[in-house]
């Protein structure tokens, strides 16, 4: 049975007459090919990436598994080609998820002047230019009674660097709320951001690859942070995951480092490290002891 995903936090959403992703009960996520070159280029990226032997195995786990493309009835009711992916949320019950678009620049080298102008406006209005990344959307599970803290898109579009800092803290707090002025307790920071398998460790592993890889330039891609609060509270070992998604603007690296993505990633790492440091973790050799 196909349905609209329960846990989408950003991007184009399926609705009455609106094209958006669908999921099934076997753990697959169907992303409709976007209009123009974007859909075809995203599918081409997945084809290239999934067969590229230069991508190390320990890096592949940061990407959703790709199952090809399929023409099928879309959310609009009309037949449309879709990219078939692993549904990253399918094994989770109440996932806390954050989508962070990486890079101070969100277009590729061959973008038209009109497209650059559209992106530049968004990059300047958001924290992309100042921080090298911006929050695209999030949901944080509070409890069964209150459900999720899920700020709306208009609010997310307006936030500045200080708000980003607060929201990254709220994401790992027991008391997230609509107000930006409350003090998030960061009670889950050590388990979610810290630890040998936590989000910081995963970001550092990705960073090491980005310092070296020159195969692709990940223009306008997002990292997804995901964890299950219930498992953290039960003391299970870290269930936090980092994934990369949204590859409609990936271009060839042509032997050059993806400095736009790498810079944004370093900036995000600094924000996460700062949160852990304020929780009493100490930095040694550029890595945090957690």
Ligand X SMILES: Nc1ncnc2c1ncn2[C@@H]1O[C@H](COP(=O)(O)OP(=O)(O)OP(=O)(O)O)[C@@H](O)[C@H]1O
Residue selected from 248, 262, 275, 276 as contacting ligand I3P according to rule CB under 6 A: 248
Residue 123 in the binding site for ligand X (CB under 6 A): no
| 87 vs 241, beta carbon nearer ligand X | 87
Stretch touching ligand X by CB under 6 A, among 6-14, 124-132, 193-201, 263-271 = 6-14
User: Would you say 112 or 234 has its CB closer to ligand I3P?
Assistant: 112
- Distance of CA 27 to CAs 1, 3, 45, 73, 192, Å? 11, 12, 21, 18, 24
Q: Does 156 bind ligand X (CB under 6 A)?
A: no
- Counting every residue, how long is the chain? 290
Q: How far is the CB of 207 from ligand X (least distance, A)?
A: 21
Give dist(CA 289, CA 287) in Å, integer. Answer: 7
Instruction: Report the partner that residue 89 touches, choosing among ligand X, ligand I3P, none (CB closer than 5 to 8 A by kind).
Output: ligand X
Strands (E) in the chain, as ranges, are: 22-23, 28-32, 66-73, 79-86, 95-102, 133-143, 147-149, 216-219, 222-228, 241-245, 249-252, 282-284, 287-289
Do 113 and 120 meet the contact criterion of CB atoms below 8 Å apart? no
Q: Considering the rule CB under 6 A, would residue 12 count as an interface residue with ligand X?
A: yes
Residues 19-78 that bind ligand I3P (CB under 6 A): 34, 38
Q: How many CA atoms are closer than 13 Å to the CA of 23, on its beta-carbon side?
A: 17
Q: Which does 88 bind (CB under 5 to 8 A by kind): ligand I3P, ligand X, none?
A: ligand X
Restricted to residues 106-145, the positions that interact with ligand I3P (CB under 6 A) are 122, 136
Q: Which two tokens stand for residue 267?
A: 């900036």
Q: What is the pattern of x (binds ligand I3P, CB under 6 A) and - over residues 82-111?
A: ------------------------------
Q: How far apart are CA 34 and CA 20, in angstroms?
A: 9
Q: What tokens does 207 get?
A: 């960073």
In the complex, minimum distance from the CB of residue 10 to ligand I3P, in angstroms, rounded to a whole number: 6
> Would you give the end-to-end CA distance of the chain in angstroms?
43
Which of 1, 10, 27, 8 lies closest to 90, judged by CA? 27
Binders in 73-102 for ligand X, by CB under 6 A: 85-89, 97, 99
Which tokens belong to 109? 């080298």
SS3 state at 92: coil
Q: How far is the CB of 194 from ligand I3P (least distance, A)?
A: 29
Indicate which of ligand X, ligand I3P, none lies near residue 122 (CB less than 5 to 8 Å, by partner kind). ligand I3P
Contact residue for ligand X among 14, 29, 105, 272 (CB under 6 A):
29
In the bound complex, what is the minimum distance in angstroms from residue 36's beta carbon to ligand I3P?
A: 8
Positions touching ligand I3P (CB under 6 A) are: 10-11, 34, 38, 122, 136, 153, 220, 248
């Amino acid at each position: 049975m196909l349905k609209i995903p329960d846990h989408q936090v950003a991007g184009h959403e399926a609705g009455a007459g609106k094209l958006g992703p669908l999921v099934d009960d076997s753990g697959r996520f169907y992303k409709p090919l976007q209009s123009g070159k974007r859909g075809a280029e995203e599918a081409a990226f997945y084809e290239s990436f999934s067969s590229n032997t230069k991508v190390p195995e320990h890096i592949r786990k940061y990407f959703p598994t790709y199952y090809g493309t399929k023409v099928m009835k879309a959310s609009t009711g009309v037949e449309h080609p879709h990219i078939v992916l692993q549904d990253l949320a399918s094994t989770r019950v109440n996932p806390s998820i954050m989508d962070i678009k990486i890079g101070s620049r969100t277009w590729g080298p061959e973008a038209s002047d009109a497209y650059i102008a559209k992106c530049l406006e968004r990059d300047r209005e958001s924290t992309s230019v100042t921080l090298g990344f911006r929050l695209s959307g999030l949901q944080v599970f509070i409890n069964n009674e209150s459900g999720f803290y899920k700020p709306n898109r208009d609010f997310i579009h307006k936030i500045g660097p200080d708000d980003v800092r607060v929201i990254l803290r709220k994401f790992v707090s027991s008391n997230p709320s609509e107000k930006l002025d409350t003090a998030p307790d960061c009670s889950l920071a050590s388990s979610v951001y810290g630890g040998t398998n936590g989000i910081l460790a995963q970001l550092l592993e990705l960073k090491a690859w980005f310092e070296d890889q020159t195969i692709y330039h990940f223009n306008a891609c997002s990292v997804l942070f995901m964890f299950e609060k219930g498992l953290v509270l039960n003391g299970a070992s870290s269930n936090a995951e980092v994934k990369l998604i949204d590859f409609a603007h990936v271009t060839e690296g042509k032997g050059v480092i993806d400095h736009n993505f790498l810079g944004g990633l370093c900036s995000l790492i600094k924000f996460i490290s700062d949160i852990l440091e304020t929780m009493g973790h100490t930095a040694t050799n550029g890595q945090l002891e957690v």
